[in-house]
Amino acid sequence: MACDRPTLSLSRLLDGALGPFARLRLKQHIAGCEDCAARLEELRAMQAVMRTKLPYHRAPPGLATRIGAALPRETPPAPSRAWFRWPAFGLAGTGLAGALAGVALTVLATGSQNGGHGGPMQMVIDSHIRSLQANHLTDLLTSDQHTVKPWLSARLDVSPPVRDLKDEGFPLIGGRLDYVDGHAAAAVVYQRARHVINLFAWASAGRDESFHADAKQGFNIVTWRRGGITYYAVSDVEADQLAEFAKLVAAG
Amino acid sequence: MPHDDRRRRFELLALPHLDAAYNLARWLAGNTADAEDVVQDAYLRAYRYFDAFQGGNFRVWLLTIVRNAFMTWVKENRSGRMVFVPDTPAGDTAESDETMWSSRPRDPEALLLESIDSQTLGRLIEQLPAEYREVLLLREVEELPYKEIATVTGVPIGTVMSRLSRARLALKKLWLRQAETEAAHGV
């Protein structure tokens, strides 16, 4: 039987954009309406396909350079400061490394100003950004948790939980070694649609601490401590998805 | 603030979102050269108005500027060509769309939808009006909530909801037509 319930409400349900009461009512309706159930299934299929199959156009290599060159010129620096003027944006070849180093330098400066808790947060964001830009997302590219875990354990004094969360919508991409706030850290890399999630973990003494969510520079961060390991999850996925991710990791 | 600091702060915030900016511009403009122009213009604008950024989600702020830069570019380069079609009043063509949804056997269609390849999907998305394309991209690729899509596109949140719903129906319609054509040619 064709149902006259508009697609709009199914579309909102799909996006998690219905209030709790409306959601409950619609779900009850769908449970007894084949038509709506099938339409919702189709919407889900389309969404999944859009998220996994739509070609993603990355910026061409020269674009950052062109933009950097087009930005208004800076005031000439005082000679004594010349050593830390880095080329802006990714100039071809070595320039990219230079620009990234510039980012890192800024972050170090900011981190030391903030001190305390601002330090590691800024550093994991910085590391997250570098991992995206420098083609250095992973040292070990594999979705096999049984490879990533021993590889990290052999190189670090911590053994963070590594679990492929593919079925939960967060496939494991790989791992790499990192250095955050004076600690050798594991960076376990996950993906959510086209977004990358870096999960940083390092050994730290102290009581377990529950999840703490934050947002900075357009990135979401969730941090917690458990079993003598401090965790930072960083990504540009939406805050609720990152919170879900953190819970999955902590539950593992 | 010294010029150097301002610029470095800008790069620190803006550089990581270059791919997102480019992807949106590329899907809106339809080709590489124009997308590059739009993104470059957007970054220059963003730098100019950087002091007006009051915190919050920088990616959303930047994508809003990319979208505005695209609109300007359309006015200057494609004047006379309809890029954004006006929203259909509710209950107009929406009705025939609904009929299309409910007049077929269903489960096989969900399977059909899943079997599409990337290239075909990209071609179908390109056929959609830009206003549909942008809400789909912001929702499915950038995974923005409605409120932020409303910010980027400069329309009320209710319009975002209905546009997205219509965009999905329109995409599905193209999709089925495509599948029928393929079937007719024995692909």
Do residue A41 and residue B107 have CB atoms under 8 angstroms apart? yes
Residue A114: pLDDT band (50, 70, 90) is very low
Structure confidence at residue B186 (pLDDT): 64
Strand partners, A188: A175, A199
- Considering only CB atoms, A129 lies closest to which of B16, B57, B117, namely B16
Q: Which domains does chain A have, with CATH numbers?
A: 7-52 (no CATH), 87-251 (3.30.200.100)
Structure confidence at residue B90 (pLDDT): 40
Average pLDDT over residues A116-135: 72
The parts of chain B modelled with pLDDT lower than 50 are 80, 82, 86, 88-106
Q: Which domains does chain B have, with CATH numbers?
A: 3-77 (1.10.1740.10), 93-184 (1.10.10.10)
CB atoms within 10 A of CB A90: 25
End-to-end CA distance of chain A: 44
Which B positions 31-50 lie with beta carbon below 8 A of chain A? 32, 35-36, 39-40, 43-44, 47
More confident of the two residues A150 and B102? A150
Structure confidence at residue A77 (pLDDT): 42
Quote the CA–CA distance of B124 and A238 in Å, as a whole number: 27
List, for residues A231-240, the tens digit of each pLDDT value: 999 998 888 8
Do residue A63 and residue B3 have CB atoms under 8 angstroms apart? no
Structure confidence at residue A219 (pLDDT): 87
Structure confidence at residue A247 (pLDDT): 93
Structure confidence at residue A244 (pLDDT): 93
Whether A132 has a pLDDT exceeding 80, the answer reads no
Query: Is A134's Cβ below 8 Å from some Cβ in B?
Result: no
Using CA atoms of B66, B70, B72, B77 in order, give the dihedral in degrees to the nearest 10. Answer: 150
List, for residues A38-71, the tens digit of each pLDDT value: 999 999 999 999 988 898 898 988 888 888 888 8
Whether A85 has a pLDDT exceeding 60, the answer reads no
Average pLDDT over residues A100-119: 40
Structure confidence at residue B5 (pLDDT): 78
Give the residue among B51, B62, B53, B56 at the shortest CA–CA distance from B25: B62
List, for residues B59-74, the tens digit of each pLDDT value: 999 999 999 999 888 8
